[in-house]
Amino acid sequence: MEIIKWSKDLETGVEAFDEEHKVLIDTINQVYSLMREGKREEAKKILIEKVAAYADKHFKHEEEVMERYNYPKDRLEGHKKMHHFFVNYLIETLLPEIEKGNEKKFNEALNFIVGWLIMHIKNMDADGYGKWFREKGIEVPDKMVEI
């Protein structure tokens, strides 16, 4: 069962980031499947240990690359703020509730993650740095070794 489907409009054109986005989406779908199968404990574990940790690493990777290629400062700052908001909200607000066994919060967290991620990848990644890199003819060779 999938809660997010990959689509062309999520493509940034930066191979490394497209792959990382796909891993994030796959992992979220895994959480969703486990929830649907009633395996809530397993789903929580993956949400906490994989999704939150992976998102954080992925964001740092994007920020590092945007900085390296001189992405306009104001846009970079705005982008970083969005990443920061997401990680903070997830880690400081949603995850503690989930860990307390608050199931309603778990569903909320999953819906929030899906909604935010799709919007962010589309508007700030693909139509943001993706478009900018394409316009500038910049090819980002980066690959994440292990995440």
List of residues contacting Fe ion (CB under 5 A):
62, 125
Nearer to Fe ion, 106 or 133 (CB): 133
Q: Give the C-alpha separation, 95 to 105, whole Å.
A: 8
Show the tokens assigned to 122: 């589309």
Nearer to Fe ion, 113 or 125 (CB): 125
Short-list 7, 45, 46, 2, CA closest to 26: 2
Nearer to Fe ion, 86 or 106 (CB): 86
What's the closest the beta carbon of residue 33 comes to Fe ion, in angstroms?
22
Show the tokens assigned to 129: 């740095």
What's the closest the beta carbon of residue 137 comes to Fe ion, in angstroms?
21
Nearer to Fe ion, 14 or 110 (CB): 14
Instruction: Report the residue number whose CB is nearest to Fe ion.
Output: 125
